[in-house]
Amino acid sequence: MSTRFMTVLGGLSVLAAMVIAHPTSLSQHCSNFPRPEIAGASVLSISSAELNNHTVAAFPPILNQDVVGINVCEVNVTLSHPNANDTVHVQIWLPASKSEWNGRLISLGGSAWAAGHGPLTLAPYAAKGFAAISTDAGLDGNLLSPAGWALKDDGMVNTELLTNFASRSVHEMVVAGKQLAASYYQKPAAFSYWEGCSTGGRQGLVAAQQYPGDFDGILAGAPAIYWTKYVVSELWPQVAMREAGYYPSACEFQAARTAAVAACDELDGVKDGVISDLAKCSFNPFSLVGKKINCNGNEVVLSKQLASVVDKIWQGPKTSSGSPLWYGLNIGAPLDSLAATLDANGTRVGDPFFVARDWVRYFVKADPEFAVQDIDSASLRNIFAESVAKFSDIIDSSSPDLAGFRRAGGKLLIWHGEADNLIFTQDSIRYRDDVQKHLGNGYDIDQFFRLFLAPGVDHCGLGSIDGAVPTNSLESLVNWVENGKAPQEIAAASLPTAASHFTRKLCQYPLVAKYDGKGDQTIAASYRCVRR
């Protein structure tokens, strides 16, 4: 993850409160809300305020454009749980009038170590007419570190707050939101949706598995499904560099990625800077050895050490017998997020990804000083097993049993970038396969659960590379839920910051988009969904 993005994340807890408001009476009903009833929780307080012609300033990458002219009734609920010593804040923005409300409720997830982003995610949905909900899960709002809440005063893991972060807050926010919306509009929401990516995607799957009646539709992007496994495996690139005794520069990693993309780009018949058929891509990183590149004005000769590190990162961590322990990054994904380095007194050293580093320190080891940078293959395997044994029941969202969600009529749509640089694309494929096996091969899983993969797209489509990012995934989900029109494809487009601009269609897994051989290669209409 880039330094710029980490800086952005660090400022979100402050920016979430930085809005421009012009208070004018909107509705006589934005007051005296009854306290919602939430099983297992005590509501400590409830307050509301009218926000008229309200503006929330852009703060990329969470909110990329200003949202202006919002008219909402903001309601804040504070709650706690017995013996948890927690204080949870739930915020809902209700479009000010019935005419501005589209009749739908949407709960919005978080990212990294945050359960939600408050106004930064509430604003665009409220502007579209949704009653929108966010929660902090009782945490401190610091996306970059759980240091403020992970451990209790006695040094033990704070399992109550971890439970809030993992699952409990997902249910309670929508329970509160449904009651408040019904009170304000004098009728219940017609439909309830969830949307989130990364941590937010994991939260959505928690809802489908543990609270199957909460949502009619769930949109989960790049979900952190197998948390206890994949987060530890995010440290593998650091281990690979340490054991090789070589820490490539970002420039070297980019050279390897660029060469891989160039080698596999046209396997689908189109040259667009994107690997669209990973199954056919078998680029050998050792073919780079001896080639010269320009790194910031300096000539660098690509080495066997670089090739070996890249090869191991793509393979992923192994068991002691050499079998796969978990997944590696896909060919074409940026390498220097999980294999980040920094300069320490003139020496390049590893810089472990902050979520993985702090998961091991604060939870698996309950030791903020644990030397994550010293982990080797053997200790990684031990930490992997320890992580699963201690916390899979609390934070993993990998149960394949979606029978309750299916019976409730829920629809689940997952999308995942095939060049995700943080959460392995294979996780989402594995989960779909696990659900299919649980239901039995004779059951048509596509009746309620569809997966879409986005070639050349990085984590949550943040834009470090140039693939086509989904543009109408929520609309597709709403159409599926409310009109019974299951999406076979999702519209996608490259971002404005991309090197080249094109549209594509993302196909329902396991189909892929293939150029039909005629027409403009830069527009989605020239592609059709076919079997691999």
Q: Please, are residues 173 and 105 in contact by the beta-carbon 8 Å criterion?
A: no
Length of the chain: 532
**Strand, coil or helix: what is 344?**
strand
Angle at alpha carbon of residue 234, lines to 247 and 241, rounded to 5°: 15
User: What's the Cα-to-Cα distance from 11 to each of 2, 14, 80, 158, rounded to whole Å?
Assistant: 15, 6, 26, 25
pLDDT at 464 (0 to 100):
83
Cβ–Cβ under 8 Å, residues 8 and 61: yes
Per-residue pLDDT, 497: 84
Instruction: In whole angstroms, give the CA distance from residue 29 to residue 42.
Output: 24
Q: Is 490 helix (H, G, I), strand (E, B) or coil?
A: strand
pLDDT at residue 301, rounded to an integer: 96
Please give the C-alpha separations between residue 510 and each of 433, 513, 531, in angstroms, as whole numbers.
11, 10, 7
pLDDT in tens, the chain (532 residues): 444 334 334 444 433 333 333 333 334 489 989 999 999 999 999 999 999 999 999 999 899 999 999 999 999 999 999 999 999 999 999 999 999 999 999 999 999 999 999 999 999 999 999 999 999 999 998 999 999 999 999 999 999 999 999 999 999 999 999 999 999 999 999 999 999 999 999 999 999 999 999 999 999 999 999 999 999 999 999 999 999 999 999 999 999 999 999 999 998 889 999 999 898 899 999 999 999 999 989 999 999 999 999 999 999 999 999 999 999 999 999 999 999 999 999 999 999 999 999 999 999 999 999 999 999 999 999 999 999 999 999 999 999 999 999 999 999 999 999 999 999 999 999 999 999 999 998 899 999 999 999 999 999 999 888 899 999 999 999 999 999 999 999 999 999 888 889 999 999 999 999 998 889 999 999 999 999 7
Looking at residue 248, what is its pLDDT? 97
| pLDDT score, position 442 | 85
Using DSSP, state whether 475 is helix, strand or coil. Answer: helix
Helix (H/G/I), strand (E/B), else coil: 20: strand
- Look up tokens 């659960």; give the residue: 449
How many CB atoms are closer than 10 A to CB 453? 23
Residues with Cβ within 8 Å of residue 278, at least 6 apart in sequence: 264, 330, 331, 332, 418, 455
Q: Which positions are catalytic?
A: 198, 420, 459
CB atoms closer than 10 angstroms to residue 522: 14
Q: 511-515 and 527-531 as β-strands: parallel, antiparallel, unpaired? A: antiparallel
DSSP 108-168: E--BTTBS--THHHHHHHHHTT-EEEEE-TTS---TT--TTTSB-TTS-B-HHHHHIIIII
What's the order of all strands across the beta sheet hosting 217-221?
A: 19-20, 42-56, 67-80, 88-95, 131-135, 104-108, 191-197, 217-221, 411-417, 449-454
Residue 454 · residue 506 · CB < 8 Å: yes
CA nearest 172: which of 141, 146, 203, 127?
203
pLDDT of residue 268: 87
**What is the rounded distance in angstroms from the CA atom of residue 318 to the CA atom of residue 202?**
25
Instruction: Scan for tokens 């949905």, then name that residue.
Output: 125
Compute and round to an integer the Cα radius of gyration of the chain. Answer: 23
